[in-house]
A and B are shown apart, each in its own frame.
Chain A
Amino acid sequence: MPLQSKPLPAETADALYQATGLRARAVPMCTVHPGESSKDTCAVEAESEADVIAVLAYARERGLTVLPYGSGRHLAYGPPAEVPDIALTLRPMNRVTSFSPGDLVVSAEPGITLAELAAVLSEKGLMLPYDPPAPADATLGGLLSAGLSGPRRALYGSLRDLAISLRVALADGRVIRTGAKVVKNVAGYDMTKLFIGACGTLGVVTEITLKLRPLPMHRETVLVRGSAASLAELRSRIAQSTLVPSRLEMVWGADSGTDFVLAVDCDEPKRSAKAQTDAIRAMSRDLGLAMDVVEGEDADAWWVDLAQRLAERRVCIRLQGPPTSLLAAMPRAVEAASALAEPAESVTISAGGLTGVARVAFHPARAIFDRPAPLGALADLAAGASLDMVVERAPAEVRAKHQPTLAPAALALMQRLKQTFDPDHRLSPGRFWGGM
């Protein structure tokens, strides 16, 4: 295709409409995601897989780049990217395409939000045990492509464990299915994994099939307050017990003072949940810690509130490593983050005592933007404690200075995969580490 000058987004919008009949218009990229460039892109909505294929075909014909996205919330992730020629949202593709409650399997289009999906599932007493710290309008496709996980990973795993089959429109126009719509399957390569966390760089996901779980018959969360050290000890006792926490997070917010809260959630039936609460009460008493219990909707609300607080902050850093080291590092993380935040009270931290994944979220102080390493204090802390750090969300200028490095052999392999699935680098230009 001619590489000369690209058409103006407004021209693309017109021509795309002529070619596909899809409504397209030129809009500044920053309306897709605040903080992005103010340059224009051609925004178009897909209502079906056929629409996606049509847009990809058009882009191929004209040599244009395409950014597939859901609600555009996660675009503050990865390296700061170029403005795509076409920004293709899949948000209108939000149908449940098949649902077999007896098989604990559901298939849905990528534009569906978790709340929309939950409404359908709960009618049959089921749930997707997945609670990422993301805004309410985040789409399943965006979350999957971002590879984002939440506290429930402690018991149920991440989307990697829950997604069993996908439909994916590839850059070359082919549509493939990965996996199978059954809970157990080892036929061929596990291609589903390739697209999870790939940020839309290998193909456009048009359908997602997930394993489900029954809605818990009873909900109960234990909240224990205390110093990080004493809660870390409590965590170890719980981890070493036969208790069955469905989430276990050590949480800090500005209202906690020097204390943290260890939140231990339980999805077991009532009698078991009560027994678990009693066991934790005994452990807490032994350590001289005070404990509260919230049940039912109050328990759910507590976790939703935590997720929302993490999701609202403009910066979200993921630290990961062995839970013992992770929890031990949290008091210093509070200090480091408070020094980078504006206001300091915006700092919210949640560290997974079983998952080994912590999120440090805050609104960044303007002063840090110009530093050579804006998040240096956290990066040093992570390095010192042998934790990995990933910038999950941050303004472009901050993100640019904190990209993870990949080992050369692994990077080369990933680049070959990208080259194979998207040789013209048409999809999600620049939205991946190592310039994929």
Chain B
Amino acid sequence: MRDVHIDRLVEIVGERRCLWRPHQVKAYACDGYTAEEGLPRAVVFPETTEEVSRICRYLYENDIPYLPRGAGTGLSGGATPTGGEVVISLARMNKLLAVDFDNLRAVVQPGLVNLTLTRRVSHADCYYAPDPSSQSVCTIGGNFAENAGGSHCLKYGVTTNHVVAAKVVLPDGDVIDVGAPFGDAPGYDLLGLLVGSEGTLGIATEITVRILKKPQALRTALAYFDRVADASDTVTDIIGAGIIPAAIEMMDQLAMQAVDKSNYHVGYPTDIEAVLLIEVDGLAAGVDELMARVVEICRRHRVREVRVAQSDAERALWWSSRKMAFGAMGRISPDYIVQDGVIPRTRLTEVLQKIDEVSRRYGLKIANVFHAGDGNLHPLILYDSRVPGEAERAVRAGSEVLRACVDAGGSITGEHGVGIEKIGEMAYMFSEDEIHAQRAVKSCFDPKGIVNAGKLIPLPGRCVEVKRAREIIEENWQILNSFPDQAAVQARGAFVQQPGREASTSAQG
């Protein structure tokens, strides 16, 4: 309903840049994680840092919860207004403010789309390195907040390694400059804390990033393995041989079947267990030699066939086949959940076996597509929500997969973030003291606890609650059948952006 607060927001940004009618704000009920939704109180579209600051100051003074939003492609619910927040969309702040090619820095507004940045600097043979598969839509601000990764971060690093400075509007509306375009800023590393904070500590309104020169040359190979273990060992041995490829991606047979049914048909053999997509880059004089060594290592591990791309078109096909893998799941399963666990690379074979066991135990197929070089798994748990109980099983299987990752010394998320989706799993990974310390950081930035609350850091007591709830569920999991709706939404395929439904769920879902 339009109330005095909406009037105030309209005073700041004007009628056209403030949406509040339910049918207008419905599209902002969730992000790429569609399991939970909530209607925002309003959606505002500031165009300047000054406006963002005035909005934040007003909302904070009046104890009105709010959250920032980029393109809404997040996969963990970071931009979902579960508490009736005012959504501050940065979509209209999408300018490339400055590029300094000589010193290799660009200053962007947060709403600039990742790939647009690369396009805008590519005439000078430059690019922005972090390349999430969603790069044609997601924003640099969203990348900043999620510390987004991509296929090439094994060699080139993730967002935090490429953002060097930012202008940030703090929860109460104060504006600070953090980081330094070159070198290090004096004082604590506030920039380091803000990157990956999922919009819970402040809103980045200007971001300075490093841009890189494109590599002189690259070579891409596709290697088919009869056995997953051989593929895993190949990855380890390539790195052991002192080669850091630009990317090493792996897909298993199920994933291959799915992508071969998509528009990007490669024609993978149907009787191999794993395919590796390996890319090396660097100076033209050396890449062939590097690739020759990679091929030799593949051979040492009983590769069935290894091919080096002979043309850009071939390379592009292989990459599309890999990058479209999530979407292609729709071809072999009505629904799926994507997980994002990380493990030490050397334990790949062992964890894949565990995932296989989970798959058998739950009677659900799990396709594996992942950044093998850095051990970032994306197990895709396939299910059919029309089959009673299957969605619940998929959720539990997913949770078990994450637990296997943590048990192997890894993490519950490598790039998609915690958001609301994995807030329960935080307790697998961190002790109560560790979560307490993170909560204390949150309070330093947001003492009122109203900015994107209920995301990333479990509220006090919640970890224990979650653990207890999990135990109860484990002992007696049929109980979930009594909440079919909740489990079904929980498990819906994350990539199909559902048109926002009018609904409001509590922060804890």
Chain A positions within 8 Å of B, measured between CB atoms, are 100-105, 125, 147, 149, 157-158, 160-161, 170, 174-178, 180-194, 196-198, 202, 213-217, 236, 239-244, 268-269, 271-272, 274-276, 318, 320-324, 326, 354-357, 388, 390, 404, 406-407, 409-411, 413-414, 416-417, 420-421, 432-434
Contacts and interface: CB of A to CB of B under 8 A. Distances in A.
Interface in B211-242: 213-216, 236, 239-242
A356 B102 CA distance: 12
Contacts of A217: 242
Top 10 closest A-B pairs, CB basis? A193-B192, A356-B182, A320-B183, A272-B286, A214-B242, A275-B285, A242-B216, A272-B283, A102-B346, A185-B411
A420 B441 contact: yes
B414 interface: yes
Contact of A239 (B104, B417, B429): B104
Contact of A416 (B101, B286, B343, B444): B444
B438 A188 contact: yes
A188 B216 CA distance: 37
Contacts of B262: none
B290 A184 contact: no
Nearest to B456: A188
Contacts of B160: 161, 190, 193
Contacts of A105: 344
A357 B183 contact: yes
Interface string B87-112: 00000000000001111110000000
B276 interface: no
Nearest to A390: B186
Contact of B290 (A269, A275, A411): A269
Contacts, number: 264
Contacts of A158: 184
A113 to B, nearest CB: 22
Interface stretch (B31-39, B41-49, B60-68, B172-180): B172-180
Question: Which interface class (under 10, 10 to 19, 20 to 34, 35 or more) fits B?
Answer: 35 or more
A185 B158 CA distance: 10
A272 B283 CA distance: 6
A189 B181 contact: no
A222 to B, nearest CB: 14
Given A102-B345, A102-B346, A433-B186, A410 B444 contact: no
A306 B412 CA distance: 43
Given A187-B426, A242-B216, A271-B289, A406 B186 contact: yes
Given A184-B153, A407-B176, A197 B161 contact: no
A19 B442 CA distance: 36
A356 B376 CA distance: 33
Contacts of A390: 183, 186
13 contacts: A102-B344, A149-B184, A157-B161, A177-B431, A177-B434, A181-B409, A184-B158, A186-B413, A188-B429, A191-B438, A236-B102, A411-B187, A432-B187
Contact of A271 (B285, B416, B441): B285
Given A186-B414, A242-B283, 16 more contacts: A176-B431, A176-B433, A182-B375, A184-B158, A186-B196, A187-B413, A189-B457, A191-B438, A196-B192, A197-B189, A216-B242, A271-B286, A321-B183, A322-B103, A406-B187, A414-B190
Contact of A420 (B236, B239, B342, B440): B440
Contacts of B147: 186, 190
B244 interface: yes
Contacts of A272: 282-283, 285-286
Q: Which of B188, B243, B433 has the most CB of A within 10 A?
A: B188
Nearest to A270: B286
Nearest to A326: B182
A406 to B, nearest CB: 5
A112 B441 CA distance: 29
B186 A185 contact: no
A240 B413 contact: no
Nearest to B441: A189
A335 to B, nearest CB: 22
B184 A189 contact: no
B283 A413 contact: no
B193 interface: yes
Interface string B142-162: 000011010001100110110
B459 interface: no
A157 B157 contact: yes
Contacts of B183: 149, 318, 320-321, 355-357, 388, 390
Contacts of B437: 170, 174, 176, 191, 421
A241 B241 CA distance: 28
Interface of B: 100-105, 124-125, 146-147, 149, 153-154, 157-158, 160-161, 170, 174-178, 180-184, 186-193, 195-197, 201, 213-216, 236, 239-244, 282-286, 289-290, 342-346, 371, 374-376, 409-418, 422, 426, 429-431, 433-438, 440-445, 456-457
Contacts of B418: 186-188
A420 B439 CA distance: 11
B42 to A, nearest CB: 26
A389 to B, nearest CB: 10
Contact of B283 (A104, A174, A193, A276): A276
Nearest to A275: B285
Nearest to A202: B188
B443 A420 contact: yes
B176 A188 contact: no
B176 A102 contact: no
Q: Which of B125, B376, B437 has the most CB of A within 10 A?
A: B437
Given A160-B189, A196-B192, A420-B441, A181 B344 contact: yes
Contacts of B282: 244, 268, 272
Contact of B196 (A100, A157, A189): A189
Contacts of B124: 240
Given A269-B289, A410-B187, A214 B434 contact: no
B214 A242 contact: yes
Contacts of B344: 100, 102-103, 105, 181-182
B189 A196 contact: yes
Contacts of A244: 282-283
Given A103-B375, A194-B189, A214-B244, A242 B180 contact: no
A426 B214 CA distance: 49
B215 A242 contact: yes
Contacts of B239: 102, 104, 214
Contact of B242 (A125, A160, A410, A421): A125
Nearest to B434: A176
A360 to B, nearest CB: 13
B456 A269 contact: no
B430 A188 contact: yes
Q: Which of A186, A274, A434 has the most CB of B within 10 A?
A: A186
Contacts of A101: 240
Q: Which of A160, A182, A240 has the most CB of B within 10 A?
A: A182
Contact of A189 (B125, B161, B438): B438
B441 A194 contact: yes
Q: Which of A147, A188, A417 has the most CB of B within 10 A?
A: A188
Nearest to B233: A102
B174 A409 contact: yes
A323 B124 CA distance: 18
Nearest to B160: A190
A319 B397 CA distance: 53
Nearest to B412: A187
Nearest to B289: A271
A239 B213 CA distance: 8
B40 to A, nearest CB: 25
Contact of B101 (A191, A240, A320, A433): A240
Contact of B103 (A182, A323, A421): A323
